[in-house]
Amino acid sequence: MNGSTYLRYEMLRTLRNRRFLVFSLAFPLVLFFTIAGPNRHVQLGGIAFPLYYMTGMASWGTMTAVLSSGGRIAQERSVGWTRQMRITPLTTRSYFTAKVLSGYMMALFSIAALCLAGSAVGVRLTAVQWVTMIGLLLVGLIPFAVLGILLGHLLSVDSLGPALGGMTSLFALLGGSFGPIVTSGFLFSLVKCLPSYWLVQAAKSAIDGGGWPPAEAWIVLAVWTVVLARIASRVYQRDTARS
């Protein structure tokens, strides 16, 4: 089986989905320009505000991009397409891989758009900083890719919009995408168990350089990934009934 044609059409379908483009690309950009634009000369604890805000929006935008592959799975399940694919040589693994890769493709577009926007309002980073930030973001997104697959099997198409929207906003808010969060105490130790916290830290690595990744980050990400993957495979196994 030659999966490349399939993958290409999957990516094409992702790009043609306007609603999706608006959510994962336009929203963070608009927020960035309206909030970081007027505050471009503000310093926040020694950090340029646009840089700070760019990293926050990058974590939120990429999270939305990757999670929305779950929405596409739910949609395909609801019209019976998943069953149709199960009687082709396409393996389950390739099916999910294509979904995750197209989610990542959107995440890359989101990062690119925000980086350009950042440069436009004066964010300056070295090549090493850009590469580190993007690389760490991509790693930090792994649990969200798995969560997307899980949600795609748990949710109906009706509940999907609110569920995905709510979940990304909550994760983003608690992780610190939208602004400073607690930095000490019990609440902070809870927040540090969230994958979104480390996603935000991944983006912020561009600011403070060596702050990420501590061992803690890798452990949190690995635990979330493994646990979510376990649940997802359970749910997937159960999901054989026809719709």
Partner 1 sequence: MVIEIFVAKRTVPLTGKGTQLVEMGSGDPHYSDQPFEVHLPDDVVRDRVENVDSDEKTNGVIRLTDLRKSYGEVRAVRGVDVTIASGQTVAFLGPNGAGKTTTIDMMLGLVRPDSGNVSLFGLPPSDAVRAGAVGGMLQTGSLIEYLSVRELIKMVGSLYPHPLDLEEVLDLTGTGDIADRKTTKLSGGQTQRVRFAIALIADPDLLVLDEPTVALDVEGRRDFWNAMQAVTARGKTVIFATHYLEEADAYADRIILMARGQIVADGPPSEIKAKVGGRTIRASIPSVHRETLESIPGVVSASQHGEEIVLVCSDTASSDGALRDLLHRFPEARNIDVRGAGLEEAFLKLTSEDDVDSDAMDESR
Ligand X SMILES: Nc1ncnc2c1ncn2[C@@H]1O[C@H](COP(=O)(O)OP(=O)(O)OP(=O)(O)O)[C@@H](O)[C@H]1O
Residue 184 touches which of partner 1, ligand X, none (CB < 5 to 8 A by kind)?
Answer: none
Q: Return the number of the residue (4 or 237) whose C-beta is nearest ligand X.
A: 237
Query: Is residue 242 at the binding interface for ligand X, with CB under 6 A as the rule?
Result: yes
Q: Which residues pair with 43 in a beta bridge?
A: 48
The kind and range of the H/E element at 48 are strand 47-48
Min. distance of Cβ 16 from ligand X in angstroms?
33
Closest Cα partner for 231 from 172, 149, 156, 159?
149
Cβ closest to ligand X, residue 233 vs residue 239: 239
Q: Which of the listed partners (partner 1, ligand X, none) does 92 bind, with a CB threshold of 5 to 8 Å by partner kind?
A: partner 1
Task: With beta carbons less than 8 A apart as the criterion, state whether 54 and 118 touch.
Answer: yes
Q: Binding to ligand X by residue 241, rule CB under 6 A? A: yes
Spatial contact of 99 and 147, defined as CB atoms under 8 Å apart: no
Q: Are 69 and 148 in contact (CB under 8 A)?
A: yes
Q: Which does 89 bind (CB under 5 to 8 A by kind): ligand X, partner 1, none?
A: partner 1
Alpha-carbon separation of residue 31 from 34, 58, 61 (angstroms): 5, 11, 11
Output the smallest distance, CB 19 to partner 1, in A.
Answer: 11
CB of residue 84 vs ligand X: minimum separation in angstroms? 17
Give SS3 for 47: strand
Q: Least separation, in Å, of the C-beta of 80 and ligand X?
A: 13
91 makes contact, choosing from ligand X, partner 1, none, with CB < 5 to 8 Å by partner type, with partner 1
Binding residues vs ligand X (CB under 6 A): 241-242
